[in-house]
Amino acid sequence: MLAGCSQQGGTPAPDASQQQAQTQATDAVRNLDTYRQLLRIGNDEMAVTMGKDIVKRFPDSAAAKEVQQTLPAIEKRYTEASEKNRLGGLWLYQVSPMAGGTQSTATIVNSQSSGNDRVQLVLRRHTSWGQSVFLYGSKPGFVCRGNCNIASTVDGKPARIMAFAPSTGEPALMIRDDKAFIAMLQKAKKISMEVTLADGDKKQTLSYEVGGFDPAKWVSVGKQKKK
C-alpha cells in the first residue's frame, strides 16, 4: 500500500514525445558546443557542415538561432576559400633544365579536357629564349598560316589575340604579344580561345579558368651568362 501511494503521489514518468524532446534538446546543446569549438579553431568546413545540421534538425531551438547568427558569414568565407584553392590548383609551376638552359613555366589545361582534347596554356621563361606564351596540344597541331587572329573572349568580352605557328613544327601556337597577354591574364577570370585543329580542320573552343594564377610562383630564371 505504501509503495502504491508513493507512485501515485510522485512525478509522472515522461511519455515518448517528451523523452524525444529531451533527447533532441540534449543533442542540440552538444552539437552547438561542437560548432563553437570548430569556430574557435577556424575549421570552416566542419563548422558549416555542423551548423547546417543543427539548423535542419533543430530548427526551432536556441542552438539553431545562435548558429544562424554566424553561419552565413562562415559559409561565405568557406565557399570563397574553396573556390580560390580550386582555381589555384589548376596551375602547375615548374623550373627545370631545357635545351642547354633553364626554364620556368606556369601551365594550365583547358577546362573539361580529356585525351587529345587537352591543350596546355603555357607561360614560359627561358635563360636563352626569354619570355613566351603559347598553346601546346597534340600532333598534328593547329591551323595557322603566318599570323592568325584567334577569336577570343576574356570574361565574356571579345578580345583580339594574334598568334603564329612555330617553324620547328611543334603542335603549338605562339602568342605574338606575350607581355600584353600576361597583363590581360592577371586581371581575368576566364579566357576562351577558338582554334582550328590541323586534324580535319576541326574548330575547338579552349577555355581556361585563369583566376588562380599566382605570379610569385612563376619564378624568374634570369639570362644565361655568355661564356
* CA pair distance 202, 196, nearest whole angstrom: 6
Q: What is the DSSP string of 155-199?
A: TTEEEEEEEE--TT--SEEEES-HHHHHHHHTT-SEEEEEEEETT
What three-state secondary structure class fits 137? coil
- Residue 224 pLDDT: 65
DSSP 8-state symbol, 58:
S
Contact 190, 155 (CB under 8 A): yes
Which domains does the chain show, CATH number per domain? 17-88 (no CATH), 90-217 (2.60.40.1880)
**pLDDT tens, per residue, the chain with 227 residues:** 444 444 455 566 666 667 777 878 899 999 999 999 999 999 999 999 999 999 999 999 999 999 999 999 999 999 999 999 999 999 999 999 988 899 999 999 999 876 668 999 999 999 999 999 999 999 999 999 889 999 999 999 999 999 999 988 899 999 999 999 999 999 999 999 999 999 888 899 999 999 999 999 999 998 766 55
CA dist 38 to 32, 79, 215, Å?
10, 16, 33
CB 27 within 8 A of CB 58: yes
Q: What is the pLDDT of residue 2?
A: 46
Gap between the Cα atoms of 211 and 155, Å rounded = 10
Distances (CA, A) of 176 to 11, 124, 148, 160, 180: 87, 14, 9, 11, 9
The predicted pLDDT at position 38 comes to 97
Beta-bridge partner residues of 207 = 192
Longest CA–CA separation in the chain, Å:
113
pLDDT value for 169: 87
Q: What is the pLDDT of residue 1?
A: 42
Q: Which residues pair with 107 in a beta bridge?
A: 92, 122
CA distance 108 to 226: 32
d(CA 124, CA 10): 84
Tracing cell 573552343 back to the chain, one arrives at 205
